[in-house]
Every structure is written in structure tokens, then in C-alpha cells.
Amino acid sequence: MILRVADISSYLDATGWHRTPETWRGAAIWSAGQTEVLVPPSDDLGDADLRIRELLAGLAAVEARDAADIARDIGSPFADRTTFRTGPLSLAAGADVVSGLHRMVLTAARIVVEGPRRSFVGRPPAKVAGLLGSTGFATGHLPGFSVKLSLDVASGIGRDVAVQLFDATSAVQESIEQPDDAVLDGVAAAGVSAGFCDALRGLGQDSFELDFRWAHGVPTGLPTRTLEFPPEAGERIHQVARRLRELDLSGPASVVGRVESLHDSQDGARWRVRIRGELHTDRGTSRSRGVWVRLPGKRLYDLAIEAHQAGRRVRVTGFRKGSTRQDLAVPPDGLEIL
């Protein structure tokens, strides 16, 4: 894989490194704490390949990751990557993992386009099918698989699907540790369905982890994070799925936070936004994450756009109808810019 200097610099900047004013024989010096690495001044130097190999070795030591994994991240500046890792896999177990990852991405994409629901029926919209057709898939040196969601394809929903995948997975991880109703409220508001839990459970009965990394060419405020699931996670996820099927999600709710993304799909659900904040219901308060909100029309949607562009917080008050949908329905006076 050929790595460009511009992409190396973008990766370092996005992962917490800082370029110093000094140079060494023309090479830029980047530092993180007490560690420094050198970046060639251009792509066409005679020893650029050697310098890049040395740089990758330095990054691998700092990040405690395989140099080849880091190189793949650097070489994909416009793709968010979710990597599954576990111990040795049989052929059957590997097939289950591939199927589980596919169902997780499919569900996340349908939530983004159609809105969060208890379950999805029928064929997915064309935009979802287009995203799945462009999603990359690869195996690594360790037992595991990587899913790459491109941010520069025509569907335009790659980042939103990657964020939804991260929010849903982290919400399930929290719920298996704290399985109370307030947490489950937040899990449902984040778009998690019993079907998503079933797909996540399909990743295996042994311990595994999911590593989320964001395209350094399109910065995001979300952290790089590795979510770990112990061997007993499968049974706990099954219990969460059962509780989500049984839980009455209806009732008043509110959320305070910043508008993270906006969705007005002609072939899906209209006037919807995702707000990153805490969900408040009569059962308690869930931790801050993406909460799906369904607005009543263009006036409040335009107000949400205004808040998003200005970086202002909003307060949304509404209700949920738990029989089919899991998002927060908002009345005409239910959104306020703070």
C-alpha cells in the first residue's frame, strides 16, 4: 500500500499528534508526549519508503497495534472502520460473524434512512442497498474482520451509519452491565432493536471486541474506542433483546443536547434529527448518546438546522409510542434553542 504524506499528516493530526516548528533534514517532526516521529517532506523522495516504515513502527509501538492496521487506516482517509477481533475461529463461526456484521450494518443503515423501529419488514430502501454495495470488507492478521464505510459515495449516509453502529453497540454494552429500565430507555432511543441485539449476539459465544475508528479525512468529535464483550455477553445480550421486546416504551420524554445530524428522506422518514444528549423519562435518565427525534414539520426542522449550524444546544420535549417506533415524537412547540 502506497501512503501519501498528506494522508499521514492528516492521520497524525486526527489522532492527537502535534507538529513541532522544528524539522530534521527536511522531515517534519510530530510529537505525542515524549514520543516523536518523522514525516517525509514529499512523496517522491528516494528514501520515503524507509522513512514511512520507520514511522509505522513508531506508531505501532505507541498505539499497541499492528503496523499493517495503522497503514490501512492512513490509506483510507475517507472511510470509517469497525473491526471485529476475537480468538481462533472455525469456518462455521467465521460465517456467523460475517452474517452478524452484515445484519448490524443493515439495521444501522435502515435506522438512519427509515427511523428507529422495533423491527424492520420488507426490502430496504435503495439508499441502504447502495451503501451496503459500496461497503468494504477485509480480514486482518489476527482472527477478525474489518468493515469500512466509505464517506465519499453517492448515498451520503456512511458517517451517519457508522455513528449509529457505534451508538447502538455501546448502548448494548452498557445495558448488559446495568440492565435497568432507565438504561433500556436510552438503548431504545439510540435506535437499538431486539433484531440489532440478535445480530450482535451472532458475533460469537467467546469474548470479542469491536474497535471503532473514524475517517481522519473527515474529523468527528467522537472518540476512537474499543468495546469489549466477555464470554458471557451472548446470554446477556439475549436478555436485553427479550426485555426490549417486552418493555413499554410509550410515555413522555425529553432530551437536551446538540443536533448531531439531520435527515429528511423522500424514500424514508421525514423531518428527523439525532441529538447527542441525555434522555429523561419517568423511569430515569440515560447516559448521553445519540437520541432520535421525529419533528412535526419543516418549521421545527429549519429551527434544528439553525441550531446545528450555530452549534447551539436544544431542548426537545415530546412522547414516544412504543408499539412500533422508538424515536421521540415532538409536538409543534416541543423544540427550543437554548
The tally of CA atoms less than 13 A away on the side-chain side of residue 171 is 33
pLDDT at 222: 87
Q: How far apart are CA 327 and CA 188, in angstroms?
A: 8
Q: What is the pLDDT of residue 248?
A: 81
Q: Name which of 162, 263, 168 is nearest 220 in CA terms.
A: 162
| Burial class of residue 12, CB neighbours in 10 A (0-12, 13-18, 19+) | buried
What does the pLDDT read at residue 140? 65
pLDDT for 46-58, tens place per residue?
A: 777 888 889 999 8
- Render each residue's pLDDT in the chain as its tens digit; 338 residues: 689 999 999 999 988 899 999 898 888 999 988 889 999 888 887 777 888 889 999 899 888 888 888 998 999 999 999 999 998 889 898 899 999 999 999 999 999 998 888 888 889 988 899 999 989 888 765 667 899 999 876 668 999 999 999 999 999 999 987 767 788 888 988 999 999 999 999 998 889 999 999 999 998 888 889 999 999 899 999 999 998 888 887 889 999 999 999 998 776 678 999 999 999 998 888 888 899 999 999 999 999 999 999 999 999 999 987 666 788 999 999 999 99
Torsions phi, psi for 264 (to 5 deg): -135, 85
Task: Please give the mean pLDDT across all residues of the chain.
Answer: 89
Going from N- to C-terminal start, the domains of the chain cover 5-74, 79-245, 250-337
Work out the angle at residue 156's Cα, subtended by the Cα atoms of residues 152 and 162, and round it to the nearest 5 degrees: 85
CATH for the stretch 250-337:
2.40.50
- Residue-level pLDDT at 153: 65
